Structure 1
Amino acid sequence: MTLPIFFGPGFVGIIISIVAAFVLAFVVTLLWKFKMEDDFPEGSLVSSVKTEAVPSSEVVIQAPVSGTVIPLADVNDEAFSSGALGQGIAIKPRLGQVYAPCDGEIVSVHSGGHAVGIRTAEGIELLIHVGIGTVKLKGRHFQVHVKEAQIVRQGELLVQCELDKIQTEGFDTTTMLIVTDRLDYSEVDILSHGEILAHENILRISNNQQEEL
């Protein structure tokens, strides 16, 4: 008696479905890897060694730019809208100044100037990413005012962007604020909707694991 006969006529179909699902997951993962390598090529986004987080149950983060708040799910880039890079929020900016959303250390600066990573005193790592596909500009229309390992205060200017020129070249200037170490901080709450000014509260990050200890 063969296995297909033992398990019934649908057994082969089940096996085919399982194999197909596995192959599809592998292909999606591979395409995702290529996408991330294109946006963050090796050596362009430099990060220092991560330090251990200081215990804290709640941290409030402020808006890095002025503009209109939109859900991350509405961003026209699956890398962000899917939440794969972390939880957070997006803003359609109306001014080109990008400010530090908190006190912290600059842990990464993309060579193109469109992405900056910052670590708070509590150890939370944030990514500020200006625009969609703006890695292709190779630094045009971006002036960076900080460098890796620099200590910054909330409200300090990080990047100056020429939004009009970026848009003229066909790029969406939506700016994402992402909590990249989402496994350590399990809840990210949106504090503002609609129009917002830089320096106003926008995210509350809660460490429920710490509260349970």
Structure 2
Amino acid sequence: MVFLIVLMVITDSVEYGQLKLGHRDESLALSVRPLIDKFGGAVSNGVVGQIAIMAGMTTGATAASITAAGRTNFKLMMFAVPAVMLVIAIIIFASKVILSEQKHAEIVAKLEQTWGKKYSGDQDAKQANGSIELPTPIAGQLMNLSEVNDQTFSSGSVGQGFAIKPSDGRVLAPFDATVRQVFTIRHAVGLVGDNGVVLLIHIGLGTVKLKGTGFISYVTEGQKVKKGQELIEFWDPTIKKAGLDDTVIMVVTNSKDFKNIKLTAQAGTEVKAEDNVMSLEAKAKAASK
């Protein structure tokens, strides 16, 4: 049970590390667990060996040769002292480890709001040129981003974009791209397009609380995807049953690289996946000296 708790805490700390360091070190973080297992096993074996010697359990010892004092010492050191140490460990854990589910949800929310900023001008982000038509990755009713019931997205602080009230649970790639992040809870995916668009696709509001329940991801970080390829599938009734908003949000996180960003379809109309609904015009890049 102790090692399972350690594994869960280490797993949740991956997003915390990403928020603080700016890069994701999942494999490095998870490699700590077997190190703890081996170290813990070595320490426990050493302690048990020393306690056995203190109790008189040396080579050639028999049950009759172990004194009453030795038996008492053995029981105290093997049962009473570990029980006290475990209580102390629980108190330290409860007071120092503050990465609760609520805190983890807050960290993931912050990552969603900031992750795409660093990919503007990234080596995987091709320089955008001319006018670009942006399709919707999912079918449903088109919404203005300002209608989204979330101040962070509706204010445009994350970037310009649009939203869809979904009639389907399949999220498709709107253009050829590289998958730069699949959030562990599978409710969002970040794409760096071959067309220069850095796009965050976010399913629902507050869906981080579902911890991935009802979501299936079909892509991995670093994977190349083609337009129309399925990225994520979700079960909409799961979101609604939890009392959450199922609005799917698409945000161009490198909006500063574009101008004349506008919807080309009227908000409130029903659209199909891969229908063009927004146009963007790349800003002219200053010539390098």
* C-alpha displacement of 1:46: 9.8
* Distance of 1:142 and 1:35 partners within structure 2: 16
- Cα deviation digits, residues 95-148 of structure 1 (max 9, x gap): 100111111111111111111011111322000000001111111100000011
Aligned twin of 1:120: 193
Question: Could you say which residue in structure 2 is the equivalent of 1:163?
Answer: 236
Q: Distance in 1 between matches of 2:188 and 2:261?
A: 20
Higher helix share: 2
Higher relative contact order (CA 8 A, sep 6+): 1
Match of residue 143, structure 1, among 216, 224, 235: 216
Q: Which amino acid aligns with 2:140?
A: G
Distance in structure 2 (CA, Å) of the matches to 1:38 and 1:108: 12
- Of Structure 1 and Structure 2, the greater strand share is in 1
Query: Which deviations, in whole Å up to 9, do the C-alpha atoms of 1:32-74 show, x marking residues without a partner?
Result: xx996351459xx799962253241121121111000111101
Query: For residues 46 and 189 of structure 1, what CA distance do their matches in structure 2 show?
Result: 20
Flag as ranges the 4+ runs of structure 1 deviating above 6 A. 45-49
Q: Could you say which residue in structure 2 is the equivalent of 1:83? A: 156
Q: 1:38 to 1:121 in 2, by over 3 A?
A: closer
CA distance 1:75–1:187, shift in 2 (3 Å): same
Give the greater-gyration-radius structure (CA).
Answer: 2
* Structure 2 spans left out of the alignment, 5+ residues: 1-103
TM-score normalised according to structure 2 size: 0.57
Cα deviation for residue 208 of structure 1 reads 3.1
Task: Decide whether the 8 Å contact of 1:189 with 1:204 is kept in 2.
Answer: yes
Match of 1:203?
278
CA distance in 1, matches of 2:116, 2:213: 19
State the partner residue of 1:14.
none
Q: Count matched residues.
A: 177
Partner of 1:102: 175
Identity, % of aligned positions: 33
Contact 1:46 1:108 in 2 (8 A): no
Q: What is the aligned counterpart of 1:190 among 254, 260, 263?
A: 263
Indicate conservation of the 8 Å contact 2:198/2:254, yes or no: yes
| TM-score between both structures, scaled by the size of structure 1 | 0.76
2:129 matched residue in structure 1: 56
Contact 1:187 1:208 in 2 (8 A): no
Task: Give the RMSD, CA atoms, in angstroms.
Answer: 2.5
Unaligned 5+ residue runs, structure 1? 1-33
Contact kept in structure 2, 1:48 and 1:149, CA below 8 Å = no
User: Equivalents in 2 of 1:46, 1:206: separation in Å?
Assistant: 19
The one-letter amino acid of 1:199's match is: E
After superposition, the Cα gap between the structure-2 partners of 1:182 and 1:160, relative to the gap in structure 1 and judged at 3 Å, is: same
Q: Give the Å deviation of 1:183.
A: 1.2
SS at match of 1:183: helix
